[in-house]
Chain A
Amino acid sequence: MAIVETRDVRKRFGDSIAVDGVDLATKEGEFLVLLGPSGCGKTTLLRMIAGLEKQTSGDILIGGQVVNDLPPRARKIAMVFQSYALYPHMTVAENIAFPLKAQGTPRAQIPEEVDRAANMFGIQRLLKRKPRQLSGGERQRVALARAMVRKPDVFLLDEPLSNLDAKLRTMARDELQHFQRRLGTTTVYVTHDQVEAMGLGDRIAVMNQGKVRQLGPPQQVYFDPADTFVAGFLGSPPMNFFHSDNTTAGFRPEHFLPKEVYQGVNEPKIDLWFSVDRVENLGADRLLYGHLRDTFQDEKVIVNLPSTLHLNIQPGAAYEFTIKEQDVKYFDRTSGKRVEPRPFWKRG
Chain B
Amino acid sequence: MTTEARRATLAGRRTWRNRFADDETWLGRLMLAPAVVYIVALVGFPFVLALFYSVSNATVGTTGLRFVGLENFRQALDNPTFLRALRNTFIFALISQALVLVCATALALALQKEFRGKWFVRLLILLPWVAPISLGTIGWLWIFEPIYSVINWTLRSIGLFGPNTWPIWLGQPRLAMASVITVHVWRLLPLATIILLGGLSSIPQDIHDAAAIDGASFWRHHFQITVPLIRPILLVALMFGLIFAVTDMIVIYVLTRGGPYDQTQVLATLAFFTGIDGGDLAGGAAIALFLFPVLAATAVALLRLARRSEVV
* Residues of A in contact with B (beta carbons under 8 Å apart): 47, 50-52, 71-73, 77-79, 81-83, 85-89, 98-99, 101-103, 130, 132, 146, 150
Cross-chain contact of A102 among B204, B209, B215 (Cβ < 8 A) = B215
* Contact status A102-B214, CB under 8 Å: yes
A-B contacts counted at CB < 8 A amount to 65
Q: Which residues of B contact A73 (CB under 8 A)?
A: 212-216
Give B residues with C-beta under 8 Å from A.
Answer: 204, 206-207, 209-217, 220, 224-225, 228-229, 309, 311-312
List 6 tightest A-B contacts by C-beta distance, closest first.
A73-B215, A85-B206, A85-B210, A99-B214, A102-B215, A88-B311
A72 near B311: Cβ-Cβ < 8 Å: no
In the complex, which of the residues B207, B217, B220, B311 contacts A130, with contact meaning CB atoms closer than 8 Å?
B311
Which among B209, B309, B311, B312 is the interface contact of A81 at CB below 8 angstroms? B209
Q: Is the CB of B312 within 8 A of A132?
A: yes
- Contact between A72 and B229, CB atoms less than 8 A apart: no
* A78: chain B residues within 8 A (beta carbon): 213
Measured between beta carbons, the chain B residues less than 8 angstroms from A83 are 204, 206
User: Residues of A contacting B204 with CB < 8 Å?
Assistant: 83, 85
- The CA of A132 and the CA of B213, in the complex, are separated in Å by 22
**Closest residue of B by beta carbon distance from A50:** B213
Contact B206 A72 (CB under 8 A): no
Contact in complex: B216, A81 (CB < 8 Å): no
- The DSSP consensus for interface residues of chain B is helix
Cβ A72 vs Cβ B312 within 8 A: no
- Does A79 lie within 8 Å of B311, measured CB to CB? no
Residues of chain A with a CB closer than 8 A to B210's CB: 79, 81, 85-87
Known A88-B311, A89-B228, A89-B311; contact A81-B214, beta-carbon cutoff 8 A: no
Give every chain B residue within 8 A of A99 (Cβ-Cβ): 214-215
A83-B206 Cα distance, complex, nearest whole Å = 7
Closest to A84 in B: B206
A87 to B217 Cα, complex, angstroms: 16
Q: For residue B203, which residue of chain A has the nearest CB? A: A88
- Report the separation of the CA atoms of residues A175 and B220 in the bound assembly, to the nearest whole angstrom: 33
C-alpha spacing A85/B204, complex, angstroms: 8
Residue of A nearest to B309 (CB): A89
Q: Are A77 and B213 in contact (CB under 8 A)?
A: yes
- Which residue of A has the minimal Cβ distance to B217? A102
Q: Which residues of A are found within 8 Å of B215, using beta-carbon distances?
A: 72-73, 99, 102-103, 150
Residues of the A chain whose Cβ atoms lie less than 8 Å from the Cβ of B209:
47, 50, 52, 72, 79, 81, 85
Beta-carbon contact of B212 and A87 below 8 Å: no
Q: Return B32 CB to nearest CB of chain A, in Å.
A: 33
The smallest C-beta distance from B262 to any residue of chain A, in angstroms, reads 45
Q: Note all chain B residues with C-beta closer than 8 A to A85.
A: 204, 206-207, 209-210
Nearest CB in chain B: distance from A344 CB, A? 50
A81/B228 in contact, CB under 8 A: no
Contact A87 B225 (CB under 8 A): yes
Q: What are 24 A-B pairs at a CB distance below 8 A?
A: A50-B213, A72-B209, A72-B215, A73-B212, A73-B213, A73-B214, A77-B213, A78-B213, A79-B213, A81-B209, A82-B206, A83-B206, A85-B204, A85-B210, A87-B225, A88-B312, A89-B229, A98-B214, A102-B214, A102-B215, A102-B220, A103-B215, A132-B311, A132-B312
Q: Which residues of B contact A87 (CB under 8 A)?
A: 207, 210-211, 225
Q: Within the complex, which residue of A52, A86, A130 is in contact with B213, where a contact is CB–CB below 8 Å?
A: A52
Residues of B within 8 A of A132 (CB): 311-312
**Inter-chain contacts of A71 with B (CB < 8 A):** 212
**How long is the Cα–Cα vector from A307 to B248 in the complex, in angstroms?**
79
A79 proximity list for chain B (CB < 8 A): 209-210, 213
Cα(A82)–Cα(B209), bound, Å: 12
A62 → chain B, closest Cβ, in Å?
13
List the B side residues contacting A146 at CB < 8 Å: 214
A30–B212 CA distance with the chains assembled, in angstroms: 25
- Of residues B207, B215, B228, which shows the largest number of chain A Cβ atoms within 10 Å of its Cβ? B215
- A88-B312, A130-B311 known; A81+B212 contact, CB < 8 A: no
Most buried by A among B213, B217, B311: B213
Nearest-CB residue, chain A, relative to B210: A85
B312 to A: closest C-beta gap in Å: 5
A74 to B, closest residue via Cβ: B215
A47 to B309, CA, bound (A): 31
CA distance A130 to B309 in the complex (A): 12
Minimum C-beta distance from B71 to chain A (A): 50
Please name the residue on chain A nearest to B206 by beta carbon: A85
Shortest A52–chain B CB gap in Å is 5
CA distance A50 to B214 in the complex (A): 11
Given that A87-B225, A89-B311, A132-B312 are contacting pairs, would A98 and B206 also be in contact in the complex, using a CB cutoff of 8 Å?
no
How distant is the Cα of A46 from the Cα of B22 in the complex, in angstroms? 53
Q: Which residue of B lies closest to A82 (CB)?
A: B206
Q: How far is the CA of A306 from the CA of B311 in the complex (A)?
A: 49
Give Cα distance in the complex from A215 to B204, angstroms.
Answer: 33
Across the two chains, which residue of chain A brings its CB closest to B231? A89
Q: Are A98's CB and B213's CB within 8 A?
A: no
Give CA–CA (A84, B263) in the complex, Å.
55
Chain B residues positioned under 8 Å from A150 (CB to CB): 215
In the assembled complex, the CB of A95 is this many whole angstroms from the nearest CB of chain B, namely 9
- Within the assembled complex, what's the spacing in Å between the Cα atoms of A155 and B253? 62
A102 partner residues in chain B, CB cutoff 8 A: 214-217, 220
Chain B, residue nearest A75 (CB): B213
Query: Smallest CB–CB gap between A113 and chain B, Å?
Result: 14
